[in-house]
């Protein structure tokens, strides 16, 4: 997809006499329709789903309207007739014949959904920071929602999903990590996590990680990213499951950890379910020292091998508090 904001709207259609495979010069609205500039509140380039029609043929896809509203550049061709209903790859721009053609703003089956809502009309000096999706498969809806990651979904006030497969729903939610989910007034605690926030109460979050420790090289993971607020209390339940490659020897246990702000206050004794590895691996938890771009610090976990025997680890963290 082009990087400019996506816009849709009813009864948008213009004519063009452009030929060839290049950009189209738009020649004005047809009777009963508006020009593309009608969905262009400020003079910046926008992305639109388009349909070009002429006697005997059509082409549809996603294009970019120039900042002055006079030119359509065909960026992604979704299909054409005669031709293919679904274009399999880049290219595919039809060599347009001579004569008048209509260019319409349409809704395509491959399209992301965008609600411009209030669109930061007051806070943003240009009035051009809408709930916007920048990549295919994502959905943005609501007052500040932005879904810029692959298959990301953002919905609600100040909701933002910036990572692959991320979902953010709720008043102040954001999901900035790959394969993370956020529901409610919360934030993502890291990769492969689910976070549910409760206003003025705290959050409930779960996160998982997997990796292998070999002799001399432990499996390292940063878990449970949290704001650096000194008075906040978090209870973390860590479940660790390790096994050798043949899955004949195991270590499985649970550990409770109390965190105050950026300090581990106490770690409980491990509740061991099974321990049959010849050399018992060690799992240590410390506070990470380097914050992420949002100012959050992680719980740093290091899980060792069983002596010379490699151990495949599955780590699960449940976080409560805030």
Give pLDDT, residue 120: 29
In a domain, 111, yes or no: no
In a domain, 6, yes or no: no
220 alpha-carbon distance from chain centroid: 24
- The whole domain housing 70 covers 13-105
The domain total for the chain is: 3
In a domain, 153, yes or no: yes
Pair (180, 221) in one structural domain: no
Give pLDDT, residue 171: 60
Residue 195 has pLDDT above 60, yes or no: yes
In a domain, 314, yes or no: yes
Q: Is the pTM of this model over 0.85?
A: no
> Of the given ranges (30-34, 47-51, 81-85, 181-185), which has the lowest mean pLDDT?
181-185
Give pLDDT, residue 172: 57
Give residue 63's region: left, alpha or beta (phi > 0; psi -120 to 50). beta
In a domain, 297, yes or no: yes
Pair (222, 248) in one structural domain: yes
In a domain, 121, yes or no: no
CATH at residue 311: 2.60.40
Please say which residue of 56, 86, 105 terminates a domain.
105
Q: What is the mean pLDDT of residues 23-45?
A: 92
Pair (268, 314) in one structural domain: yes
Give pLDDT, residue 126: 39
How far is residue 239 from each of residues 219, 248, 252, measured CA to CA in Å?
15, 19, 7
Pair (29, 91) in one structural domain: yes
Please say which residue of 157, 188, 219 terminates a domain.
188
pLDDT band at 163 (very low <50, low <70, confident <90, very high): low
In a domain, 251, yes or no: yes
How far is residue 301 from each of residues 46, 81, 135, measured CA to CA in Å?
45, 57, 33
Condensed to tens digits (0 to 9), the pLDDT of residues 76-130 reads: 898 999 988 888 777 899 999 999 999 999 987 655 444 333 332 223 333 344 4
Pairing of strands 202-213, 101-105: unpaired
**3 state SS for the chain:** CCCCCECCCCCEEEEECCCECCCEECCCECCCCECHHHHCCCCCCEEEEEEEEECCEEEEEEEEECCCCCEEEEEEEEEEECCCCCCCCCCCCCCECCCCEEEEECCCCCCCCECCCCCCCCCCCCCCCCCEECCCCCEEECCCCEECCCCCEEECCCCEECCCCCEEECCCCEECCCCCEEEECCECCCCCEEEEEECCCEEEEEEEEEEEEECCECEEEEEEEEECCCCCEEEEEEEEEEECCCCCCEEEEEEEEEEECCEEEEECCCEEEEECCCCCCCEEEEECCCCCCCCEEEEEEEECCECCECEEEEEEEEEEEC
Give pLDDT, residue 321: 83
Condensed to tens digits (0 to 9), the pLDDT of residues 254-289 reads: 999 999 988 899 999 999 999 999 999 999 999 988
Pair (182, 211) in one structural domain: no
Give pLDDT, residue 108: 79
Pair (242, 293) in one structural domain: yes
């Amino acid at each position: 997809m082009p990087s400019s904001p996506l816009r849709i709207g009813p009864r948008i259609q213009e004519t063009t006499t452009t030929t060839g495979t290049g950009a189209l010069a738009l020649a004005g609205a047809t009777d009963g329709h508006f020009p593309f500039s009608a969905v262009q509140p400020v003079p910046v380039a926008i992305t639109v789903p388009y349909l070009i029609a002429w006697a005997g043929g059509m082409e549809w896809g996603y294009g970019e309207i120039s900042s002055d509203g006079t030119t359509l550049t065909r960026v992604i061709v979704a299909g054409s007739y005669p031709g293919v209903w679904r274009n399999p790859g880049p290219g595919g721009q039809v060599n347009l014949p001579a004569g008048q053609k209509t260019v319409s703003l349409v809704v395509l089956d491959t399209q992301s959904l965008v609600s411009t809502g209030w669109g930061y009309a007051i806070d943003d000096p240009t009035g051009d920071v809408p709930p916007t999706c920048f990549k295919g498969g994502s959905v943005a809806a609501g007052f500040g929602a932005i879904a810029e990651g692959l298959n990301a979904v953002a919905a609600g006030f100040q909701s933002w999903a910036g990572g692959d497969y991320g979902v953010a729903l709720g008043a102040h939610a954001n999901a900035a990590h790959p394969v993370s989910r956020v529901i409610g007034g919360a934030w993502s605690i890291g990769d492969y996590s689910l976070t549910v926030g409760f206003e003025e109460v705290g959050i409930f979050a779960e996160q998982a990680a997997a990796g292998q420790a070999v002799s001399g090289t432990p499996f390292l993971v940063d878990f449970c990213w949290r704001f650096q607020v000194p008075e906040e209390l978090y209870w973390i339940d860590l479940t660790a499951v390790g096994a050798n490659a043949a899955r004949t020897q195991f270590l499985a246990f649970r550990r409770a950890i109390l965190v105050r702000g950026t300090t581990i206050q106490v770690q409980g004794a491990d509740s061991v379910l099974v321990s049959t590895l010849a050399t018992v691996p060690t799992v240590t938890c410390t506070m990470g020292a380097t914050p992420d771009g949002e100012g959050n610090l992680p719980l740093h976990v290091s899980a060792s091998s069983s002596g010379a025997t490699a151990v495949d680890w599955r780590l699960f963290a449940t976080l409560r508090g805030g």
